[in-house]
Structure 1
Amino acid sequence: MSSQRGSGQTRKRAQKHKNSFAFKNDLHDKTPQMKKMNSLNVCEVCERCKAQIEWRIKYKKYKPLSQAKTCVKCGNRTVTKAYHVCCKECAKREKVCAKCLKSGDQVNIEPPEKTPEEQQQLKVEMDRLIKSLPERKRRTFLRYMNKGKEIDGENGVEEQADDKKEGATENGVETAKKKTFVPHNRADLLSKIESLKLADDEGDDDFSFGESDDGSDFEGSEFDDDDDEE
């Protein structure tokens, strides 16, 4: 039986219990299982399914698998990730979301996590390419690679790394948006190297008066023309 009053009547008082701080899934749980859950890389799924799985992790609703499940594509027990219905190999071959099975032509699918062998191969390739850069360009590229690419922690939208984020006020509580950085992919790194090489081909010297070594502009110049004072 509903306790709602007659139709058209709304509650006039404010909310009695207000959230004064955000929920933290590891506030009272510092176990290795919780740390492993928070470090999971959700991939091989579309953006909508990724948001759903990340919500479960954030609010401690994620239930990991105790044993492998059967893949709906190949029929083998090769599904090791919770809420996935398709294994990694079949999802990669069919180019579908491993959770909702939507095609990659309809939705954007998160690329799979690189294996240690692929990461080592990428590192060797990047080391070989940056040897051809001068020292200043090399330091610029290493900062770019180590910093990573910033994404919005709430909805996964990519943003520029140097954009400022302002705090949002909800129910009188100020909360700052969480900054999340992910490693650059191979295409981003190669594009950055090409842009640095292009700058060298256009006659860019090892030192420019408009930019410091860390990428920030100089506040002032000590080479001001003294003729203005006269």
Structure 2
Amino acid sequence: MSTYENKATYRKGNNVKKGQAHQNTTAWKPNKNSKKTREINALPVYGLCQRCTDVILWRKKYRKYKPLTSVKKCTGCEQKNIKEAYHVLCNNCASQKKVCAKCLESKEIITEKEEIKSAADELKDEQELERMLAKMTLRQRRSYMRKLERGDDVGEINIDDLDDFDDFSDEDDSDQNDQDSN
């Protein structure tokens, strides 16, 4: 007899399994100060359906995510183009076939690669905003910040226009100073 047959139960009826023996009372928390954890959490998740995105986010949350160490071969074009862990198709093949890059099912893709900004892009945008705010007058700055808070479209404001405005305000100040001295 095999060991499996020895352990089998011969009880008739009422073969309902019991629940989990030990329930967790507190949630597991990874080491948040770990450099590796910060790097993994900074990696963007894109080109996947909702289910695959949830799976990847779960893996990141519970430290099960293993990033790629080298570039991986795409199953569609057979070239080494995959730079994201758990993906099977490269971005080009997935977008051409309109499928999820992980499960290969034609579901709605949550985020595309083009929609995600890198840290360098965000830093550049932030610096541009600070430069633009520095060129504004106090009234313009407050008006701009109110529009941002309301969610109004602020794309129409151009930095070049602010430069022109500053030039005019300097001329007005110099004219006023000339009048005061006379």
TM-score bin (small chain): 0.5 to 0.7
Greater C-alpha Rg: 2
1:159-180 deviations in whole A, cap 9, x for unaligned? Answer: xxxxxxxxxxxxxxxxxxxxxx
Counterpart in 2 of 1:21?
Answer: 26
Aligned to 1:76: 79
Q: Name segments (4+ residues, structure 1) moved above 6 Å.
A: 120-127
2:47 is matched with which residue?
Answer: 44
- What is the alpha-carbon distance in structure 1 between the residues aligned to residue 39 and residue 10 of structure 2? 44
How far is 1:72 from its partner? 1.9
Partner of 2:110: 109
Cα gap change, 1:26 to 1:97, in 2 (>3 Å): same
Residues 15, 114 of structure 1: alpha-carbon distance in 2 compared, 3 angstrom cutoff: closer
Tell me the SS of whatever aligns to 1:48. helix
Secondary structure at 1:97's aligned position in 2? coil
Supply the distance in 2 between the matched residues of 1:2 and 1:141 (Cα, whole angstroms). 70
Name the residue aligned to 1:203.
none
Q: Percent identity?
A: 32
- The answer for the alignment partner of 1:175 in structure 2 is none
Which has more helix, going by share of residues?
2
Q: What is the rounded CA distance, in whole Å, between the counterparts of 1:16 and 1:120 in structure 2?
A: 49
Q: What is the aligned counterpart of 2:101 among 76, 98, 101? A: 98
| Matching of residue 8 in structure 1 with residue 14 in structure 2 | yes
The amino acid across from 2:23 in the alignment is K
- Post-superposition Cα deviations, 1:107-143, rounded to whole Å, max 9, x if no partner, equal 233222235686578779989x999x95544113444
Query: Which residue is 2:152 aligned to?
Result: 193
1:193 aligned partner, one-letter code:
D
Per-residue CA deviations over 1:144-167 (Å, capped at 9, x if unaligned) read 6xxxxxxxxxxxxxxxxxxxxxxx
Q: Compute the TM-score of the two structures, normalised by the length of structure 2.
A: 0.57
Partner SS, residue 94 of structure 2: helix
Structure-to-structure mapping, 1:145-164, within 5 angstroms: none
Gaps of 5+ in 1: 145-191, 198-230
Matches within 5 A, 1:111-126: 111-112=112-113, 113-115=116-118
Matches of 2:92 and 2:17 in 1, distance apart? 54
- Please report how far the alpha carbon of residue 83 of structure 1 lies from its aligned counterpart in structure 2 after TM superposition: 0.7
- For the 8 Å contact 1:69–1:79, the answer to whether it is kept is yes
Q: Give the number of equivalent residue pairs.
A: 143
Unmatched runs of 5 consecutive residues or more in structure 2: 1-6, 157-182
